[in-house]
Amino acid sequence: MAYEVGDRIISKKPHACGGNEWMVIRTGADIKIKCLKCGKALFLSIDETKKITKKYTGGGERNV
């Protein structure tokens, strides 16, 4: 599974702000995701990102 900028992730556990929807804002060796509720961004490894992902929705640069 390849993450693309603009893709949406629903996390298994909610963020500290209560939101559980994230947008991928940078990809590479690490993935940067931004909480869509509070706007806080964090870096995760690809493995960590996969681990927290409950639902993954494309819709970024890649057409799904």
42 near Zn ion (CB under 5 A): no
Q: Does 19 bind Zn ion (CB under 5 A)?
A: yes
Of 9, 23, 24, 35, the residue at the interface with Zn ion (CB under 5 A) is 35
| Among positions 15, 23, 24, 27, the unique one binding Zn ion when judged by CB under 5 A | 15
Instruction: State how beta strands 21-26 and 30-35 pair.
Output: antiparallel
Candidate residues 4, 12, 14, 17; the one interacting with Zn ion per rule CB under 5 A:
17
For 10, how many CA atoms within 13 A lie in the half-sphere containing its CB? 4
Report residue 47: phi and psi, to 5°: -60, -45
Alpha carbons 13 and 63: distance in angstroms, whole number:
27
Residue ranges in contact with Zn ion by CB under 5 A:
15, 17, 19, 35, 37-38
